[in-house]
Amino acid sequence: LPSLASHPFQMALYFCTGVLEDETLFRHYALNVPFYTHFTSPIRRYADIIVHRLLSASLGVSSPIKMKKEAIQSQADHCNDRKMASKRVQELSADLFFAIFVRVRA
């Protein structure tokens, strides 16, 4: 069974800073920094590809991406939905496995 200690307080969400007016939402609570972004290798997740492209453009290494901020937010929302669905399926799978394990052992 999952432990409360093993779950983060709040699941990280992708968002486009251009659609949010409240900059306090950009901060990372645990690290106590006002602005934060996170990404991994762009071969892992589509959201990471977008972050790489945006950072590259902001540093002047590549040309700006041709997506409106609303389209970026739409992609972020989709990635958040898929991430939450995946997490829920993972939790349900663990619960199912545990239930089958208990039933077989009883």
The answer on pLDDT for 48 being more than 60 is yes
> In this structure, which amino acid lies at residue 75?
Q
**Cα dihedral sign for 15, 16, 22, 24?**
positive
The answer on pLDDT for 7 being more than 80 is no
Distance CA 53, CA 42 (A): 10
pLDDT tens for each residue of 29-43: 788 888 888 778 777
Distance CA 60, CA 47 (A): 20
Q: What is the pTM of this model?
A: 0.72
Distance CA 64, CA 60 (A): 8
pLDDT tens for each residue of 67-106: 899 999 999 999 999 989 999 999 999 999 999 999 999 7
